[in-house]
């Protein structure tokens, strides 16, 4: 099927959606140049999807405070060691956490300052929104 002509697309737009019906070429070019590659978008989507799980966020919060082994994370979060290990495996695959071996134990920490920053900014944004709602 042929792609609809721009003229036909604009004709289908109701009058109340866009009063001028003018494409702002510079803005469109700027928006297109700001787009990430498909690969980068897939990676970003996977990272944000991983961070969207409450259990994994609890792990991130705990590791933001201190380096922990699986048994310590299990005790801190009140979930099984098996569940913690499963979550950590997924988090390692996306470089959210890293392990440091000390004898037979592996201690986990957040991979780098970027992960900490993503978590802290999201946490601050949520708490800022709650303060703003209380003030209103």
d(C-alpha 121, C-alpha 49), whole Å: 16
pLDDT category of residue 121 using cuts at 50, 70 and 90: very high
Q: Which region among 18-27, 67-76, 102-111, 115-124 has the lowest average model confidence (pLDDT)?
A: 18-27
Integer Cα distance of 14 and 51 in angstroms:
39
14 or 96, which is more confident?
96
pLDDT digits 0-9 by tens, 78-106: 999 999 999 999 999 999 999 999 999 99
**What CA–CA distance (Å, rounded) separates 96 from 40?**
16
Q: Would you place residue 7 in the very low, low, confident or very high pLDDT band (cuts 50, 70, 90)?
A: low
Q: Kindly state whether residue 16 falls inside one of the protein's structural domains.
A: no
How many domains would you assign to the chain? 1
Residue 70 domain-assigned? yes
Is residue 35 in some structural domain? Answer: no
pLDDT digits (tens, 9 = 90+) for 26-84: 998 999 999 999 999 999 999 999 999 999 999 999 999 999 999 999 999 999 999 99
Show the CA angle centred on residue 11, arms to residues 10 and 13, nearest 5°.
65
Q: Which residue has the higher pLDDT, 100 or 1?
A: 100
Q: How far is CA 81 from CA 53, 61, 63, in A?
A: 17, 17, 15
Examine residue 46 and state whether it is found in any structural domain, yes or no: no
Q: How does residue 5 score in pLDDT terms, banded at 50, 70 and 90?
A: confident
In a domain, 18, yes or no: no
Q: Is 40 among the domain residues? A: no
Range of the domain at 103: 54-135
CATH number at residue 108: 1.10.10.10
Does 10 have pLDDT greater than 80? no
């Amino acid at each position: 099927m042929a792609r609809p002509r721009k003229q036909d697309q604009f004709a289908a737009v109701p009058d109340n959606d866009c009063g001028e019906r003018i494409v702002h070429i510079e803005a469109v070019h700027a928006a297109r140049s700001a787009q990430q590659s498909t690969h980068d978008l897939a990676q970003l989507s996977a990272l944000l999807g991983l961070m969207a799980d409450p259990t994994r966020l609890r792990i991130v919060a705990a590791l933001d405070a201190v380096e922990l082994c699986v048994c310590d994370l299990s005790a801190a979060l009140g979930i099984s060691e098996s569940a913690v290990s499963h979550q950590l495996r997924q988090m390692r695959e996306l470089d959210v956490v890293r392990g440091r071996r000390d004898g037979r134990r592996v201690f986990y920490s957040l991979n780098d300052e970027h992960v900490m920053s993503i978590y802290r900014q999201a946490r601050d944004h949520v708490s800022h929104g709650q303060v703003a709602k209380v003030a209103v």
